[in-house]
């Protein structure tokens, strides 16, 4: 099991401090939410945050959750900034574009992820499986941290895991949104292996303690 903290709900004015605490608590992968104010009604970071992160903490893996329908500008920019993985939304572009950008990531030795919103049928995964290193199922509608896990997600996770078993290689399933001490266990039981958590880790004043609790639940 992997815990990938989303820094969206960390303390923006003390980001370095929060990241260091998570690393000291054993975190090796971070989830960076990129919001463009168009595909989702919120704004977050640009590529400079990623290149600074990469420079300051070179051992951390950075997965970029790209909530944008402007891949032409942003995918190359985040690849250049040093992303280890870019996760593209199925809903953000047409299938030809999606194929193009998945190929682009492969050619640039960057891992490729596909993200599905809560109302996108998981069966769309079948068409792209050969190009994916990871699948991310949203367990809230994207745009904001601190939302509630959608209960129907459990069934979707199980369906997606079943589909992904048909691929030639192992494609792990990640969940994002409303993950806490209770919902992490539900998602794990349904088959998820990578857990994004934002407010649960960063909002209660004890980053290391929250990570330890989540680890204990996911053991
Ligand atoms: C929502 C983001 C999530 C979110 C997670 O659009 O993709 O990564 O920040 O935050 P919590 O864990 O608070 O739901
Ligand atoms: Zn995210």
CB proximity list for 64: less than 8 A, separation 6 or greater:
32, 34, 50, 78, 83, 85, 86, 87
Q: What is the pLDDT of residues 42-92, one digit of tens each?
A: 999 999 999 999 999 999 999 999 999 999 999 999 999 999 999 999 999
* Torsion from C-alpha of 202, 203, 209, 211, nearest 10 degrees: -40
- Return the best residue to mutate from 10, 36, 176 for the ligand 1 pocket (most ligand atoms within 8 A of CB): 176
Kindly report the pTM of this predicted structure.
0.98
CATH of 2-218, one of 3.20.20.70, 3.30.70.20, 3.40.50.720, 3.40.50.300: 3.20.20.70
What's the gap in Å between 39 CA and the centre of ligand 2? 13
Please tell me the distance between residue 176's alpha carbon and the centre of ligand 1 in angstroms.
6
The position carrying tokens 């893996």 is 61
Measured over the CA atoms of residue 144, residue 150, residue 156 and residue 157, the dihedral's sign is: positive
Q: How far apart are CA 46 and CA 81, in angstroms?
A: 10
8 Å CB contact between 101 and 138: no
Regarding the beta carbon of 5 and ligand 1, being less than 6 Å apart is answered no
pLDDT in tens, 124-159: 999 999 999 999 999 999 999 999 999 999 999 999
């Amino acid at each position: 099991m992997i815990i990938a903290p989303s820094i969206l709900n960390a303390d923006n004015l003390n980001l370095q401090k929060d990241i260091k605490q998570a690393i000291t608590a054993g975190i090796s992968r971070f989830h960076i939410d990129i919001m463009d104010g168009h595909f989702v009604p919120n704004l977050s970071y640009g590529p400079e945050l990623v290149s600074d992160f990469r420079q300051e903490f070179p051992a951390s893996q950075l997965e970029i959750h790209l909530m944008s329908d402007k891949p032409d500008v942003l995918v190359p920019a985040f690849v250049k900034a040093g992303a280890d993985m870019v996760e593209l939304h199925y809903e953000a572009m047409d299938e030809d574009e999606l194929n193009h950008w998945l190929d682009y990531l492969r050619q640039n030795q960057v891992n490729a992820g596909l993200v599905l919103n809560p109302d996108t049928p998981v069966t769309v995964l079948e068409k792209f499986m050969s190009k994916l290193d990871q699948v991310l199922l949203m367990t809230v509608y994207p745009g904001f941290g601190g939302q509630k896990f959608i209960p129907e997600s459990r069934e979707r996770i199980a369906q997606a895991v079943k589909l992904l078993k048909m691929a030639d290689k192992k494609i792990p399933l990640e969940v994002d949104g409303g993950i806490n001490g209770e919902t992490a266990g539900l998602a794990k039981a349904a088959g998820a292996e990578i857990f994004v958590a934002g407010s649960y880790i960063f909002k209660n004043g004890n980053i290391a303690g929250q990570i330890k609790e989540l680890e204990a639940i996911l053991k």
